[in-house]
Amino acid sequence: MSENVVVPTLPAENGIHVWRTAIVMPFITFIFVLIRFYCRSYVVRRPWGIDDYVVAATMVSIIVHAILMGIATYHGMGLHIWQFTPELNSEYYLWIGISSEFYVTSLAGFKCALLLLYLQLFGVNQKFRIACYLTMFYTLGYLTCNALTEFFGCHPIAKKWDMDLPGWCINRVVANIIYGAGHMTSDLIIGILPLVMVWRLQFRTTRQKIGLSLVLGCGLVAWAVACVRWAISTYDSLSYDRPWWSGISFTFSILEVNTGLICACAATFGPLFNNFSTQLRSWSDRATASLHNNSRKTTASWRSSQHDRDQPTYRHNSLSGDLPLMPPAAHIKGNINNSSEDGSYRMEPIVTSNAIPSPPSAKSDDEFSRFDLQGLQALHLEDGRIV
């Protein structure tokens, strides 16, 4: 690194992509979080559970992580190694160390939120419950080690961003590879766990089973992003031009935590979609019934007018005191109305309404109703086990 190198206006190079991603992705994730809490509070109408509080805390952690990543782009992240100065080098590793703590916290948040959701849905199965707790223990275990090594990985701690200080540091390349593998394996397990239970349930149609698998298996999207990030991060650790490749690696870090929380929120949108589809069907049925009734009324009115023109009008003379003459019974095809001013009898056709009753509104009386899964009503339990 040369001290005479002119540093471009920051953020530059790959740093601009990190900065843009740090602004856009938390905004999108925040919208999903708001929809989740709207669904919980106004559609399902239930108090918050522990998974909801975990999601809220994770959203805060993601926002802080994005802010720190954005600040890091003004301290050399994304530049080529030959564009660095000694000052930028120290600032770069300092901000990377701080932001990494919130990255680990965000990972732990969305992974635990998904596992807690699975426990609410399929916790009746003892083996599945044990598998979820073991996965949570494994996830929180290696993430805690990751956070500790990020903070205490060098002695003294300041040597992490000031390599000229005497002391020692752990092998960062090996640590990043190990922890990256932990991210991928935990995401893969979390993505597969609910699918094992879904395919053991009985549904009315295979389409319902596939739909639920797609909803609960959305955690595999976070796993795919984690795989890409781990591959780029590993190459970055072995590359000479580390700051430039870090710009790409940390872009995927932001995508990873935000995608994971989006998946944790999207898995709870079932009641909202159910409510919307119910309202849509209700509006459609009402419109169809209204058009059907209007058509029947128009047809009956036309037939009545034709009948009145073809048949004589029966009147009575109020001055002579004659009793009113009733039309023959053979001509009666409706209700008799003698409310006209001239005393004539008029026929009012009887119209029977065939309106289609509106379907009942969506209800959420059990834990499975958040996905509107009618197939779960066929769930068989024996001694607390799903069979």
Q: Which of 75, 121, 58 is nearest to 259 (CA)?
A: 58
Residues 146 and 192 in one domain: yes
Residues 199 and 274 in one domain: no
HSE-up of residue 379 (Cα within 13 Å, Cβ side): 20
In this structure, the answer to whether residues 252 and 309 fall within a common structural domain is no
Cβ(19)–Cβ(73) below 8 Å: yes
pLDDT of residue 364: 37
> Is 182 a member of any domain?
yes
Chain segment 173-212, per-residue pLDDT in tens: 899 889 999 999 999 999 999 998 888 877 777 777 887 7
Q: How high is the pLDDT of residue 206? A: 78
d(CA 39, CA 280): 18
Claim to verify: residue 236 and residue 135 sit in the same structural domain: yes
Q: Which two tokens stand for residue 215?
A: 């909803």
Confidence of residue 275 (pLDDT cuts 50, 70, 90): low
Q: Would residue 1 count as lying in a domain?
A: no
- 71 vs 92: CA distance, rounded Å: 10
- pLDDT at position 338 over 70: no
Q: Which residue has the higher pLDDT, 287 or 76?
A: 76
Q: What is the pLDDT of residue 73?
A: 92
Residues 60 and 180 in one domain: yes
Q: Which of 148-152, 251-255, 280-284 has the lowest mean pLDDT?
A: 280-284
Residue 55 inside a domain? The answer is: yes
386 within domain boundaries: no
Q: How many C-beta atoms lie closer than 10 Å to residue 117's C-beta?
A: 24
Reported confidence tier of residue 55, pLDDT bands at 50, 70, 90? very high
d(CA 256, CA 192): 18
Q: What is the CATH number of the domain that holds 65?
A: 1.20.1070
What pLDDT does residue 385 have?
A: 41
Q: Are 131 and 115 in contact (CB under 8 A)?
A: no
**Least confident stretch, 68-77, 145-154, 160-169, 300-309:** 300-309
Do 176 and 306 lie in one domain? The reply is no
The count of domains in the chain is 2
Residue 174 within any structural domain of the chain:
yes
Q: Which of 203, 241, 195 is nearest to 219 (CA)?
A: 195
- Residue 359, pLDDT > 80, answer no
DSSP helix/strand/coil, 349 = strand
384 falls within a domain: no
Average pLDDT estimate for 152-163: 87
Res 58 pLDDT > 90: yes
Residue-level pLDDT at 283: 66
DSSP designation for 43: I
pTM > 0.85: yes or no: no
**At 141, is the secondary structure helix, strand, or coil?**
helix
Residue 150: pLDDT band by 50, 70, 90 thresholds? Answer: confident
Summarised one tens digit per residue, pLDDT across range 220-229 is 898 999 999 9
In this prediction, residues 263-278 reach a mean pLDDT of: 73
In this prediction, residue 140 carries a pLDDT of 95
Q: Can you tell me the distance from the alpha carbon of 186 to that of 381, in angstroms, rounded to the nearest whole number?
A: 29
Parallel, antiparallel or unpaired: strands 154-155 and 168-169: antiparallel
Q: 376: which 2 tokens? A: 């779960």
Give the tens place of pLDDT for each residue, 250-260.
999 999 999 99
Domain interval for residue 350:
270-313+332-338+345-362
- Give the pLDDT band of residue 236 (cuts 50, 70, 90): confident
Q: Specify whether 263 is located in the same domain as 351.
A: no
Asked if 62 and 130 sit in the same domain, the reply is yes
Residues 190 and 229 in one domain: yes
What per-residue confidence (pLDDT) applies to 104?
A: 95
pLDDT at 317: 47
Is the pLDDT confidence value at 289 over 50?
yes
Percent of the chain with pLDDT over 70: 69
Contact 120, 366 (CB under 8 A): no
Taking only the tens place, the pLDDT of each residue in 90-106 is 888 889 889 999 999 99
User: Which residue, of 268, 302, 324, is where some domain finishes?
Assistant: 268
350 pLDDT band, cuts 50/70/90, is very low
Residue scoring higher pLDDT (140 or 282): 140
pLDDT the model gives residue 320:
46
Model pLDDT, residue 239: 87
Is 356 inside any structural domain?
yes
**Same domain, residue pair 171 and 77:** yes
Query: What local confidence, expressed as pLDDT, does residue 366 receive?
Result: 39
If asked whether residues 229 and 279 sit together in one domain, one would say no
**Amino acid code (one letter) for 212:** L
65, 145: one domain: yes
Residue reference for tokens 């199965």: 125
Task: Please tell me the distance from the alpha carbon of residue 268 to that of residue 109, in angstroms, as a whole number.
Answer: 16
| Strand spans (E) along the chain | 154-155, 168-169, 334-337, 346-349, 381-382, 385-386
Tell me the Cα Rg of the chain.
Answer: 35
Provide the 3-class DSSP secondary structure of residue 7: coil
Residue 329 and residue 311: Cα distance in Å, rounded? 13
User: Before 11, cis peptide (omega within 30)?
Assistant: yes
Closest CA to 111 of 129, 137, 145: 137
Q: Is 256 part of any domain?
A: yes
Higher pLDDT, 47 or 297: 47
Residues 6+ apart with CB under 8 A from 173: 237, 238
